[in-house]
Chain A
Amino acid sequence: MMSPAASAPAWDFDDQAPAVEVAPGVHWIGALDPGLRTFDIILRTANGTTYNSYLVRGEDGVAVIDTVKAEFAEDFFARLESAARYDEIRVIVLNHLEPDHTGALPELMRRAPQAQLYISKRATAMLKALLKPRDDRPLTYKTVGTGDEVSLGGRTLRFLHTPFLHWPDTQCTWLAEEGVLFSGDVFGCHHCDARLFNDLCGDFRFAFDYYYAHIMRPFKSYVVDALKLIEPLPIKLIAPTHGPVLRDRPRRYVTRYRELSTPSLAERIDQDERSLIIFYMSAYGSTARMAEAIRAGVEESEGIRVSLYDLEGGEVQPFVDLIESADAMALGSPTINGDAAKPIWDLLSSLAVIDLKGKLGAAFGSYGWTGEAVKMIEDRLRGLKLRVPVAGLRIKLIPTDEELEECREFGRALAGALVRGEQGRVIDFADLG
């Protein structure tokens, strides 16, 4: 996953440079990875990333918050040694156990065996999988949640339980005395700049939004839960595990998360209105006519906003945004050589970044001789955990008036399933599709 070092730009930064003080008694002891171009296979970065780790000094000892990717352990330990002795380390906090933050953990535990590990309540199984404890090498740790705290003498670390941002184990740590939030991957981004602070770095706003879109977006409801804990804090500095340290107007980034986690469609569409999007591809106009008749059937119902889009005329990304805010989608495709048209699959393979829970799906299409596309789309919709409440509709070649009425009826049935899905009603398991 790492690009060759030769491709890395020259940086006016000494890998062995000492720790950087980010707040009184709080040091950055992380590592820079300017050569990285692809993170975790799926994320691209145009100028690398950073693995941020922090050291907090109290009167009675020192805490290390998160570590770095294993390949960068040497830089991490050099910086740590410039700010503290290993025998001073009383506390190691792991806000997130992914290997890019725990790569140096085993060696840190070897060098500071007296330090107590603090992890979230959901992190135990991952910690064991990571460190592989044995009977002769037992593992001791403390699990913490919101309201728990550990004192370093004059300084207290308080924990916030913020699961699924973006793994089950994730948490944030709050240093109240300095107003510093150690946020883990929350408010992070893949942007490497040796100047470290957000007011000194290059413009990384796109990297911040891109990171949110790929890492946090599938867990928006958990972001909202976490923001309820984070927003009331008098934050002076946000110390994330990737990208710039946010010291200049840190609350802007909290606000940005709130904006990104609020459905845009809900602002324009009445809260009581349900939204259904119909997407289609059509070679000779038959599937398009089906789509229009289905829309007409849906429109007979009150309280449903229906939208119709020809996939041939749009890009995938805005359609993904639309689906995220919609309550249901219907996909229409002709069958070409035994398969649905490629733009349908392009759309259906781009939905991993959004939460599809609770949405309804439906499939329809005209065909010439075999007609497999509708069933294949339905299977994919079910695979994505959508409910498919109305059996797919296939029509051979050009729809007749009677067949167009079938399409309207299909639309009415879909609208009925959408309206019936209202809260409070008992649904039969067999109707879940």
Chain B
Amino acid sequence: MAKAKITFSDIEQTVNVPAGTRVIEVSERIGAGIIYGCREGDCGTCMMHVEEGWNNLTEPSVLEEKVLRENMASRHDRLACQAQILGDCKVKPA
């Protein structure tokens, strides 16, 4: 299975994950600082900023786009409970 590396820059930890893993699955277990609320893409609590590898995450859905807009997300912000890791990337809490 294809692998990818995700780095959580707030705790300076990198994890080697199977491609397709959601960021939430990794960040909670590694103890990164992203905070979760509903865990289903509705509340916007888990907004994260993608520092590197923006294109290495799955495209946001229409619903995620809406929540990002409502939470005044900047250009490279995503919801950690929705984004799946496809290639190397670096993220931190928004």
- A interface residues, Cβ below 8 angstroms from B: 121-122, 124-125, 128, 143, 164, 168, 221, 357-359, 385, 387, 423-429, 432-433
Contact = CB atoms under 8 A, between A and B. Distances in A.
Contact of B29 (A124, A423, A432): A432
B81 interface: no
A97 B18 CA distance: 40
A428 B32 contact: no
Contacts of A357: 28, 31-33
A114 B88 CA distance: 50
Given A168-B35, A387-B30, A432-B30, 14 more contacts: A122-B44, A122-B72, A124-B70, A124-B72, A128-B70, A143-B72, A168-B37, A357-B31, A358-B11, A358-B31, A359-B31, A385-B29, A425-B14, A433-B29
Nearest to B47: A122
A433 B11 CA distance: 18
A426 B15 contact: yes
Given A124-B71, A168-B44, A429 B13 contact: no
B91 to A, nearest CB: 15
B21 interface: yes
Contacts of B32: 357-358
Interface in B1-38: 5, 11-18, 21, 26, 28-33, 35, 37
A424 B13 CA distance: 6
Contacts of A125: 43-44, 67, 70-71
Nearest to A218: B35
Contacts of B29: 385, 387, 432-433
B31 A121 contact: no
Interface residues of B, number: 26
A143 B26 CA distance: 31
A384 B49 CA distance: 25
A271 to B, nearest CB: 15
A384 to B, nearest CB: 10
A185 B22 CA distance: 34
A427 B72 contact: no
Nearest to A423: B12
28 contacts: A121-B71, A121-B72, A122-B44, A122-B71, A122-B72, A124-B70, A125-B43, A128-B70, A143-B72, A168-B35, A168-B44, A168-B45, A221-B33, A357-B32, A357-B33, A358-B30, A359-B31, A387-B29, A387-B30, A387-B31, A423-B13, A424-B13, A424-B14, A425-B14, A427-B14, A427-B16, A427-B30, A433-B29
Nearest to B74: A121
Nearest to B37: A168
A428 B70 contact: no
A167 to B, nearest CB: 9
A121 B32 CA distance: 22
Nearest to A129: B43
Contacts of A124: 70-72
Interface in B30-60: 30-33, 35, 37, 43-45
A429 B21 contact: yes
Contact of B15 (A121, A359, A427, A433): A427
A122 B73 CA distance: 9
With most chain A CB atoms within 10 A of its CB, the pick from B17, B18, B31, B37 is B31
A332 B9 CA distance: 34
Given A125-B71, A168-B44, A428 B33 contact: no
A426 B72 CA distance: 33
A428 B5 CA distance: 9
Contacts of A387: 29-31
A426 B5 contact: yes
A426 B31 contact: no
A332 to B, nearest CB: 23
Contacts of A168: 35, 37, 43-45
Nearest to B26: A429
Contacts of B31: 357-359, 387
Contact of B16 (A122, A428, A433): A428
